């Protein structure tokens, strides 16, 4: 893509995300959740080719850039697909989309851009929605649950706020407690079982689907917290690329009600 084509794509994407809610409420059909792709364009193309079709809602859980070999191609492909499939493809925000909101290393995608394009990508990606809700008990987002009193309050979360950090940067630990502090090495806020139960009760949800934390057990908290990854960029930490499929008409009470496929 030329610089002009890239800027045109970013301009259109910015308008699209500005008109989308931070909380996407799915209504019917099937939902397909895709974990971090992190520059794994091949995984993204495979998922889009197979699952982007009428009556499917395809939800990517963030972290499209950095780590893998094709970050620029991956994000540009996803943005282009989003513009063509406004009501069936959703791109949630991961921490790697918020590089200028909260800087981190390594960030090979961001550091490889010139200052002008870095600002444009960051302006556009800072507008991505934060969470997906389904009528059958699921909330999906990148990391951990935000400290909001009602689901709709997610619409008011601003990039850089405490709640934004919880969603995009938060990790879960398989132990008691609510907020367990900030990990001194990664800067990630850590949460325990008490936080999960309290916020899920407030939001009226049964199952969380998220990505972000390669060392997390794939199923936690009474089988109500599911962590998936759809990238080869994690090496030995994540051996398979998985997606989660849900029929929105059927009740979902635990991970046992969710179909997992390897792509
Ligand atoms: Mn992440």
Kindly give the distance from the C-alpha atom of residue 249 to the centroid of ligand 1, in angstroms, as a whole number: 30
Judge whether 32 and 49 are in contact, CB under 8 Å.
no
Kindly give the distance from the C-alpha atom of residue 50 to the centroid of ligand 1, in angstroms, as a whole number: 24
SS3 for 216-248 is CCCEECCCCEEECECCCCCHHHCCCCEEEEEEC
pLDDT at residue 46 greater than cutoff 90: yes
Q: What does the pLDDT read at residue 234?
A: 84
Domain limits for position 243: 3-262
Kindly give the distance from the C-alpha atom of residue 96 to the centroid of ligand 1, in angstroms, as a whole number: 6
Mean of pLDDT values over 193-208: 98
List the strands of the sheet with 207-210, edge to edge: 23-25, 131-133, 138-140, 207-210, 225-227, 219-220
Kindly give the distance from the C-alpha atom of residue 16 to the centroid of ligand 1, in angstroms, as a whole number: 23
- Mind giving me the DSSP string for 80-140? HHHHH-TTTEEE---GGG-TTTS--S--HHHHTS-HHHHHHHHHHHTTS--EEE-TTSEEE
pLDDT at residue 47 greater than cutoff 80: yes
Number of structural domains in the chain: 1
Q: What does the pLDDT read at residue 26?
A: 98
> The CATH number of the domain where 45 resides is what?
3.60.21.10
Kindly give the distance from the C-alpha atom of residue 207 to the centroid of ligand 1, in angstroms, as a whole number: 19
Kindly give the distance from the C-alpha atom of residue 133 to the centroid of ligand 1, in angstroms, as a whole number: 20
pLDDT at residue 94 greater than cutoff 90: yes
Kindly give the distance from the C-alpha atom of residue 150 to the centroid of ligand 1, in angstroms, as a whole number: 24
Q: What pLDDT, in 10s, does the model give residues 159-192?
A: 999 999 999 999 999 999 999 999 998 889 999 9
Tell me the pTM: 0.97
């Amino acid at each position: 893509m030329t610089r002009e084509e890239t800027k045109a794509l970013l301009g259109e994407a910015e308008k699209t995300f500005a008109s989308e809610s931070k909380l996407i409420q799915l209504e019917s059909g099937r939902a397909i959740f895709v974990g971090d792709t992190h520059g794994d364009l091949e995984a993204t193309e495979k998922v889009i080719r197979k699952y982007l079709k009428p009556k499917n809602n395809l939800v990517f859980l963030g972290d499209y850039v950095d780590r893998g070999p094709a970050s620029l191609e991956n994000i540009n492909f996803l943005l282009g697909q989003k513009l063509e499939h406004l009501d069936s493809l959703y791109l949630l925000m991961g921490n790697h989309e918020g590089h200028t909101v909260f800087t981190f290393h390594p960030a090979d995608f961001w550091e490889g851009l010139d200052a002008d394009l870095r600002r444009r990508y960051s302006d556009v990606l800072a507008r991505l929605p934060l969470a997906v809700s389904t009528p059958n008990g699921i909330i999906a987002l990148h990391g951990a649950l935000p400290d909001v009193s009602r689901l709709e309050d997610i619409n008011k979360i601003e990039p850089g706020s405490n709640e934004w950090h919880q969603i995009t940067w938060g990790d879960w630990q398989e132990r008691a407690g609510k907020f367990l502090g900030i990990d001194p090495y990664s800067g990630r806020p850590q949460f325990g079982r008490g936080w999960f139960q309290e916020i899920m009760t407030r939001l009226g949800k049964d199952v969380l689907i998220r990505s972000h934390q390669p060392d997390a057990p794939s199923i936690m908290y009474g089988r109500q917290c599911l962590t998936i990854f759809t990238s080869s960029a994690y090496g030995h930490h994540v051996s398979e690329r998985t997606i989660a499929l849900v029929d929105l008409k059927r009740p979902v009470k635990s991970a046992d009600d969710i179909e997992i496929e390897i792509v």
